[in-house]
Amino acid sequence: MTMNNYNEKEVILNNGVKMPILGFGVYQIPSEATKQAVLEALKVGYRHIDTAQAYFNEAEVGEAIAESGIPREDIFLTTKIWIDNYGYEKAKASIDESFRKLKADYVDLFLLHQPFSDYYGAYRALEDAYREGKVRAIGVSNFYPDRLSDIVAFTEIKPQVNQVETHPFNQQIEAQENMIKNNVQLESWASFAEGRNNIFTNPVLMDIAKKYNKSTAQVMIRWQVQRGIVCLTKSVRPERMAENFDVMNFELSADDMARIQSLDTKTSLFFSHQDPDTVDFFINLVKERRNK
Ligand code: NAP
């Protein structure tokens, strides 16, 4: 992506694949509400949908895409392998299961959801799916700079994308520099920090929003677009989906970008993937699910 053209609607990944810069995420949308939400998002104009095996709504995403009447090739579809399915053989089987649920012949982007357990084995399954033409791009999520540099160094097909928590309170400035160095596209999750720390009414964001006659949500998305970040947001409300999609008609000044940068705490509002307690949390989650 040319950083001078802030209204570019797509970024170009390291393998030449184009990816829409705005995406609609379906995390925490109950499966029974997902089909409707995705249909609304597509109606608003989104052509990039982000789901995951762990969201338990891949099937409903697939139904919405099929029912929308929009040609499949016009939609950029992402899903992710969950830790339970790591290791080469299990990952391979789970990739096919995702295709079945999504009713898809191919997926545009398949990610490793977390940097734990046998993710190298799972990544090799992704590489094979890529070579077979079943996925157009592969990548990782929640890989902090140390893990990202490692997987870039020791894999044949370099990840195209790394999806990490990114919002005004946790901006990933150094992590983004490392991704640029490694030719990996930064994609944001929790672009609104899921509303934590009163982000929608933060005084700095409110002041900037007022100046451009926009909402704080639009300012947060626009700030990511101007940083060249692929930005995911979630809403179940069509009016908010439309608001979140309407960010290509204004430009934040360098001063306002710097004011937003001053909000960075460089700390996760959720959990650090480098904290042993977080690792334990994920390991226990896998164990609990296996015992069910
Ligand atoms: P988010 O987009 O930061 O925030 C969603 C929250 O903001 C919801 O409560 C939503 O409420 C509200 N909201 C949306 N638009 C709004 C607006 N214009 N004004 C006021 N409130 C608004 O959170 P997220 O869903 O966690 O992140 C986005 C996507 O990233 C996910 O859906 C998922 O695809 C991905 N993600 C990935 C990971 C990962 O580990 N890879 C982790 C988390 C998320 P309503 O729905 O009621 O509007």
Taking the centre of ligand 1 as the mean of its atom positions, its distance from the CA of residue 195, in whole angstroms, is 8
Cα–Cα distances in angstroms (integers) from residue 76 to residues 17, 87, 109, in the given order: 10, 26, 8
Interval 80-101: pLDDT, tens: 999 999 999 999 999 999 999 9
Instruction: Report the chain's mean pLDDT, rounded to a whole number.
Output: 95
d(CA 196, CA 130): 37
Domains of the chain, by residue range, sit at 10-289
Taking the centre of ligand 1 as the mean of its atom positions, its distance from the CA of residue 156, in whole angstroms, is 33
Helix then strand then coil, in percent of the chain rounded to 5, is 50, 15, 35
Question: 3 falls in which pLDDT band (50, 70, 90)?
Answer: very low
List the single range of 1-10, 15-24, 258-267, 271-280 with lowest mean pLDDT.
Answer: 1-10
Q: Is 106 a catalytic residue?
A: no
Interval 185-236: pLDDT, tens: 999 999 999 999 999 999 999 999 999 999 999 999 999 999 999 999 999 9
- Is residue 240 in contact with ligand 1, taking CB distance under 6 Å? yes
- In 21-95, the DSSP E strands lie at 22-25, 48-50, 76-81
pLDDT of the residue at 130: 98
pLDDT of the residue at 5: 59
pLDDT > 90? residue 249 = yes
Ligand 1, atom 10, lies closest to the CA of 235
pLDDT of the residue at 34: 98
**CA proximity to 15, closest of 107, 91, 105, 109:** 109
Ligand 1, atom 36, lies closest to the CA of 189
Domain 10-289 sits in CATH 2.160.10.10:
no
- Is residue 116 in contact with ligand 1, taking CB distance under 6 Å? no
| Single pTM value for the model | 0.96
pLDDT of the residue at 290: 78
d(CA 100, CA 81): 14
Catalytic choice (6, 55, 86, 119): 55
